[in-house]
Chains A and B, each alone.
Chain A
Amino acid sequence: MRPPPAGWARFWFAPTPTSTLAVVRIAYGIVLVAWTLSLSFDASPFLSTSGLVPERPPVPWTWSVLDWFPSDAAVGVVFALLLAAAVGVLIGYRTRLAAAVVVVCLLSLHTRNPFVINSGDALLRVFGVYLALAPAGTALSVDRWRQRPRRPFWDFPERSPLALRLMQLQLSAMYLFAVWAKLRGTTWNNGTAVSYALRVEEVSRIDLPAWFTQSVAVSNALTFGTLATEVALATLVWNRRSRPWVLGLGVAMHLLIDLSITVGFFSFVVFVGYLAFVPADTMSRWILAVRDRLRRSPLAASPTPNPSGPDPVPVPSPPDTSLTPTGEPIKEPTRFTAASGG
């Protein structure tokens, strides 16, 4: 049998250091913990059998564990499980199991009451599915820490970047289809859309002055600027040289959206996705720079042995014999040291 085309195989399966995946996992865990806690305040009206939506809407092919346990106590159990699993993903403890539980719980809650779910919540769920497919606990995790001293903590073994690729493509698709949908309207074509969006009182986070929100020039600039930024985020982000600039534009755009409009966790979930675009070598350097800075801090000065395990350079570790999704043994763990600069 011939292998898949080389470019395709390299894109999806070429072993890559797991530093980026680890940071994406941690960032995702932070956002997910916050999301779960924020929903817990309104669990009764949104999810209970005596709430605003007493029964799950019958959407074909959707499911929820609350179908099998339709009680308020079960809602509490799902919340507790989700919170525990979110912390598990954050710290990387039994990461695969935690990520799978996250997906089941998120899906169960989202389908139980889809009327309170926005695009950011959907993106959180989709990213959860992708993370559950990934060896997300390979680096910077309790799972890794428990393997000391057999395997040093500050290593980023190589694995298939499949999940990160899915996240990247998901973000590109999101922007592409968002622009496509907007161009079918009127206000995005005549440059007035952002003016309307900023004046919808129910979603406004801060009171912007009328001269700003009702200015034709400002609205035109922001409307067409949004479309241009979204097109760039869907396309130019794949060019290594333009990527930092495009992602910077995206961060600025989503920060402005988050500051002016109540979109929940949307911007933060998008930022998690942006991290997936950081090259693994760059992310490894950043992580080790943070590690070295922490070690130099006065708080870290201690005569006790380094609790995070031996430094990677002087201590050889056995080759990681785990398998990639391709079924082939992975290469020797990639090592990065501050001295070598990655």
Chain B
Amino acid sequence: MVTQWVLSALLAFVLAATVVWNMPDSGLRRGIIPLVTPVMNATGLHQSWIVFAPDPPRLTFEVVARIDYADGTSALWRTPKGGALVGHYRTYRWRKWMESARLDSNQDLWEPAARWVARTYNHEGRTPTQVQLVRRWRELPPPGSTVHDQPGREYTFFTLSLPVGGS
């Protein structure tokens, strides 16, 4: 009997916390969320169900890295994109990383990413001297539109200069 009551209390808390966690921002949510955050985060029950919500992206985008080498050559790094059958079950995580890395609110990700690219592509006697992170995007016209191909755009949002011989 006591066990059932204890379990019931825990279950009621988990259910209420899940509801509050997923509620839209509101005074009620802001008031309660500090009480449930410790439990939800510490137990791994934190969650978010906003896939393509409130709207899917209305542009197609990617993050690439332009690498300049000491010998005057350059290269372009793009995130891996796996095959349609199996490979994408691995590479979807790169897409998730790009979603975050392109945002100004995640500037902490930029320098480590540029340094990782420089280290990873420092081979075959070629030493990177500069890595630029570039956003590329193309806006998608609404369905039914007669305009099919929007011009692509790009913007260099981070530059890492490297001393020759080090990264």
Contact = CB atoms under 8 A, between A and B. Distances in A.
A15 to B, nearest CB: 13
A201 B60 contact: yes
Interface of B: 1-5, 7-8, 11, 14-15, 18-19, 22-24, 37-38, 40-62, 81, 84, 88-98, 100-101, 106, 108-109, 112-113, 116, 119-120, 140-145, 148
Interface string A96-135: 0000000100110010000111110011011011000000
A142 to B, nearest CB: 26
Contacts of A125: 44
Given A129-B43, A169-B15, A178-B49, 10 more contacts: A12-B8, A46-B93, A52-B112, A115-B101, A180-B24, A202-B62, A216-B143, A264-B89, A326-B1, A326-B4
A215 to B, nearest CB: 6
B interface, over-half SS: helix
A341 B59 CA distance: 55
B89 A13 contact: no
B44 A107 contact: yes
A194 to B, nearest CB: 8
Contact of B7 (A117, A186, A325): A325
A107 B7 CA distance: 23
Interface in A181-238: 181-188, 192-197, 199-203, 205-206, 210, 213-216, 219
Given A9-B4, A177-B22, A50 B96 contact: no
B88 to A, nearest CB: 4
Interface residues of A, number: 85
Contacts of A177: 22-23, 49
A257 to B, nearest CB: 9
A106 B148 CA distance: 43
Given A1-B1, A1-B2, A59-B41, A45 B116 contact: yes
A65 interface: no
A182 B55 CA distance: 7
B144 A214 contact: yes
A-B pairs with the 4 shortest C-beta distances? A185-B54, A181-B53, A61-B41, A195-B143
B11 A12 contact: yes
A262 B109 contact: no
Contacts of A38: 89-90
Contacts of A122: 46-48
A81 interface: no
Interface string A54-75: 1001011111000000000000
